[in-house]
Amino acid sequence: MSENAQSDDQEGGSNGIMVFDGLLDITMVAKYYEQLNELLNDQKMITLNMENVERVDGAGLQLILAFLKEAEKLNLEVSWSGVSEVFDSAAKTIALNEGLNYAV
């Protein structure tokens, strides 16, 4: 699935994993929004993987931040399995890295 995020179920649907491909920008926000919304409705634990992200913009970062806030409201556990240098740098540039609550 080039240029698209993938969501996979693990351990009988108890853990949703969202793996993002190269783009996390305004051109992909609508697609990612739908996929993330499905995870909010279907999962109790969610893992985000940003290891492959090569391009990210403010819209992409805002989407992830909004998703994390919504997951928190729903008492869903969100963890990170990887963050690319590009994603980390973009988050730090606009001071969102602490709000996104990931460790690199």
Which CATH number belongs to the domain containing residue 58 in this structure?
3.30.750.24
For residue 61, the number of C-alpha atoms closer than 13 Å in the C-beta half-sphere is 22
Q: What pTM did the predictor assign?
A: 0.79
Structural domain includes residue 1: no
Domain extent at residue 60: 6-100
Structural domain includes residue 54: yes
Tokens 């634990």 -> residue: 45
Question: Which DSSP letter does residue 4 get?
Answer: S
For 42-93, what is each residue's pLDDT tens digit? 878 899 999 999 999 999 999 999 999 999 999 999 999 999 999 989 888 8
Strand, helix or coil for residue 41 = helix
- The total of structural domains in the chain comes to 1
